[in-house]
Amino acid sequence: MNYLTLENINKSFGEKLLFNSINLTIAKSQKIALIAKNGTGKTTLLRVIAGEEAPEGEQAKLITAKNIRVGYLKQDPDLDNSATVLEAALDSENKQVQAIKELELATLLDKHDQIQAAIEKVDNLKAWDIEARIKEILGKLKVSNFKQKVETLSGGQKKRLALAKILIDEPDFLILDEPTNHLDLDMIEWLEGFLSTQSLTLFMVTHDRYFLERVCNEIVELDDGNLYTYRGNYSDYLEKKSARVANEKANLEKTKKLYKKELAWVRRQPQARGTKAKSRVDKFYEIESKAKKQISDDEVTMQIDMARLGGKILEAHNVGKSFDDLDIIKGFTYKFKKGERVGLAGPNGVGKTTFIKLLTQEVKPDTGKVVVGDTVVFGHYTQDNKSLNEDHRVIESIREIAEYIPLKKGKKLTAESLLERFLFPRSHQQVYVSQLSGGEKRRLLLLRVLMKNPNFLILDEPTNDLDILTLNVLEDFLQSYPGCLLVISHDRFFMDKLVDHLFILKGGGEYKDFNGSYSEYKQSLRAQTSSKAKKPKVEEAPVEEQTEKRKLNYHEKKEYSNLEDEIAKLEKRKKEIETLFMDTTISGDKITELSQELGTIQKSIEEKEDRWLELAEFI
């Protein structure tokens, strides 16, 4: 069943063409991601699909299946500011959700007469399963202060609340614009599991590539006004796009040769031309247009002549910081080394940004001290775009910092060239900052930091609002960056690719120093959990205080003994599928089928491991 069909859709923004007669079909149970550069129309396409913006074109058609419910998560959600968090989260036409809302409000306000009536209503509607799902969603997304007014929430809190509301409402068709923004790593991993195992229909924009890999079964790319479809997940997209670009390059070379031949013919012709000659001239201009098309690889390869780092770089000695009763860090000691690449992880609200400001001496510690070497030049990218002058042109904004970056062997990288490498073509460099999209402004802010040519680069959530193409360019740049790198990011792919050492802030001032990538850290946590379950702690207690421990019954013992074999079989099949993904001859349909199977297997492994741990408590 097709939920939505787009045919011959055009869209322009001033003189800029966003869509050139694009077509798209979204069928039931498809999970599709949209990839495009910032400023090329991703959000506009989402708005067209959601019915909030009219398509253009004489033959344009937008066909939506009847009686389907659509949920649209915007980057800036529409919420009732006068409502409480609980009222907003449970604002739904679903009768079961309405019943749970009445029960929760009555309980919150301690109205006993209304509580009993609400319980009976929930019973009659058989809505207790819905209540469990609601509590799971709100808990995982850390939506907890139910009495708080929506108007008092931060932008990130509103985004999480809006996401919770949509997931609770269970629409037939989900449209999500950057759903992982403002989520911490635990939330992202939960959402990834939730969406990958649900039989829902999904169309989304996200820069999280692990999310794309594990959730989506189709990717569409908006490039130069055209829409390209790739069956499979992110790995398949990379492979198939590479083949498409190679084919386009080959065709471009042929077109250029034909263009030279036709150009020579046109120049030989007299001014007065017959009908046949005119036809050939018209064809010449068509060939000329194709021959002058530029195909960018979006690669960054350069050797920066960075300011020298001395022996002493950045040292923290027994650093501690608190705000009232909130401990940010206690007893932190570390000496940074040349070329070190460190990631900073931890839940939202634990104080990661404050921790960074302690290291850069923007915030003074309560205890201990921070010592910064004389040769250190910090480049600090933050999420605040107040430093941008909206009345400046893009090139002026970069030149305001510097005219060029020095490279090895006496070469220079000019402001114009740096902008080009980060996907701002020369024509776009004359645009005013006020005309840029949110993602383009983020990219410009990042370039202003890089233009200072720092030797100690600190990036606080650099991936938020950046498109995947820009992320690939940024990663290429950072992989060859010779200085120290300290990164806060909820993008697991970005962290795995760039850092090999982690500080994990746990809250309450506690932290963990882990030598490895983020994925290796998560793997170590799973191993520790499994090890603890296999060796349950035995506590000594006086005889009179000991109580008889519950024992497994016959069926539970049998289940426990079977679980290990079942998990082993699932892990084996998981590895088989991952091996099959490496086969370049595999069809797109087969990849989609295997991706869905892999999601089901992963969910089953997690459920069986949880059950095994539960039963192991009583062995």
Give the tens place of pLDDT for each residue, 109-133: 888 888 888 888 888 888 888 888 8
Whole domain around residue 243: which residue ranges? 237-291
pLDDT at 536 over 60: no
pLDDT confidence bin for 584, thresholds 50/70/90: low
Number of domains in the chain: 5
pLDDT at residue 385 in the model: 62
What mean pLDDT comes out for the span 269-276? 54
Mark whether 475 and 608 lie in a shared domain: no
The Cα 355–Cα 365 span in angstroms is: 10
Of 275 and 335, more confident: 335
- Domain membership of residue 89 (yes or no) is yes
The Cα 117–Cα 389 span in angstroms is: 58
CA 41 vs. chain centroid, Å, equals: 18
Of 235 and 456, more confident: 456
pLDDT at residue 393 in the model: 93
Residues in the chain: 619
pTM: 0.67
Q: Looking at 189, 216, 232, which one is the last position of a domain?
A: 232
In 3-state terms, what secondary structure has residue 129?
helix
Structure tokens given for 222 = 């908006």
Per-residue pLDDT tens over the stretch 77-110: 889 999 999 899 998 888 889 888 888 888 888 8
Mark whether 449 and 486 lie in a shared domain: yes
Q: HSE (CB half, 13 Å, CA atoms) of 302?
A: 23
Structure tokens given for 472 = 């690939």
pLDDT at residue 400 in the model: 92
Q: Is 213 left (phi over 0), alpha (psi -120 to 50) or beta?
A: alpha
pLDDT at residue 288 in the model: 62
The helix or strand, by DSSP H or E, that contains position 496, with its residue range, turns out to be helix 492-498
pLDDT at residue 275 in the model: 54
Mark whether 179 and 134 lie in a shared domain: no
Mark whether 342 and 221 lie in a shared domain: no
In 3-state terms, what secondary structure has residue 341?
strand
pLDDT at residue 310 in the model: 87
- Domain membership of residue 484 (yes or no) is yes
Mark whether 215 and 337 lie in a shared domain: no
- Domain membership of residue 74 (yes or no) is no
**CA nearest to 240, candidates 35, 3, 407:** 35
pLDDT at residue 198 in the model: 77
Calculate the alpha carbon distances from 306 to 376, 400, 443 in Å.
11, 19, 21
pLDDT at residue 410 in the model: 79
What mean pLDDT comes out for the span 141-152? 89
pLDDT confidence bin for 23, thresholds 50/70/90: very high
pLDDT at residue 581 in the model: 67
Mark whether 51 and 13 lie in a shared domain: yes
- Domain membership of residue 301 (yes or no) is no
pLDDT confidence bin for 501, thresholds 50/70/90: very high
pLDDT at residue 540 in the model: 45
Mark whether 249 and 104 lie in a shared domain: no
CA 291 vs. chain centroid, Å, equals: 36
Most confident of 272-276, 330-334, 464-468: 330-334
pLDDT at residue 545 in the model: 41
- 612: CATH: 1.10.287
pLDDT at 480 over 60: yes
Percent of the chain with pLDDT over 90: 32
pLDDT at residue 498 in the model: 92
Mark whether 378 and 469 lie in a shared domain: yes
Beta strands 326-335 and 314-323 are: antiparallel
Q: Looking at 186, 205, 232, which one is the last position of a domain?
A: 232
Of 69-78, 284-293, 394-403, least confident by mean pLDDT is 284-293
- Spatial strand order of the sheet with 70-73 comes to 70-73, 173-177, 201-205, 31-36, 218-223, 226-231
pLDDT at residue 247 in the model: 76
Per-residue pLDDT tens over the stretch 240-255: 888 887 777 777 677 6
pLDDT at residue 183 in the model: 87
Alpha helices in 334-483 (DSSP H): 352-359, 394-399, 415-421, 438-450, 468-479
Do residues 35 and 240 lie in contact, with contact meaning Cβ atoms separated by under 8 Å? no
What mean pLDDT comes out for the span 137-161? 89
Of 604 and 538, more confident: 604
pLDDT at 365 over 80: yes
pLDDT at 555 over 70: no
pLDDT at residue 376 in the model: 93
Average pLDDT, the chain: 83
pLDDT at residue 617 in the model: 63
- Domain membership of residue 527 (yes or no) is no
- Domain membership of residue 45 (yes or no) is yes
Most confident of 262-276, 403-417, 582-596: 403-417
Strand extents, DSSP E, 456-588: 456-460, 484-488, 501-507, 510-514
Mark whether 358 and 452 lie in a shared domain: yes
- Domain membership of residue 164 (yes or no) is no
- Domain membership of residue 300 (yes or no) is no
pLDDT at residue 544 in the model: 41
In 3-state terms, what secondary structure has residue 380?
strand
Mark whether 341 and 257 lie in a shared domain: no
Question: In the 3-class helix/strand/coil scheme, how is 96-123 assigned residue by residue?
Answer: HHHHHHHHHHHHHCCCHHHHHHHHHHHH
pLDDT at residue 397 in the model: 93
pLDDT at residue 375 in the model: 93
Structure tokens given for 519 = 């994925």
Residue type, 174: L
In 3-state terms, what secondary structure has residue 381?
strand
Q: Looking at 245, 260, 291, which one is the last position of a domain?
A: 291
**CA nearest to 197, candidates 493, 607, 571:** 607
In 3-state terms, what secondary structure has residue 354?
helix
Mark whether 475 and 390 lie in a shared domain: yes
- 319: CATH: 3.40.50.300
Mark whether 13 and 133 lie in a shared domain: no
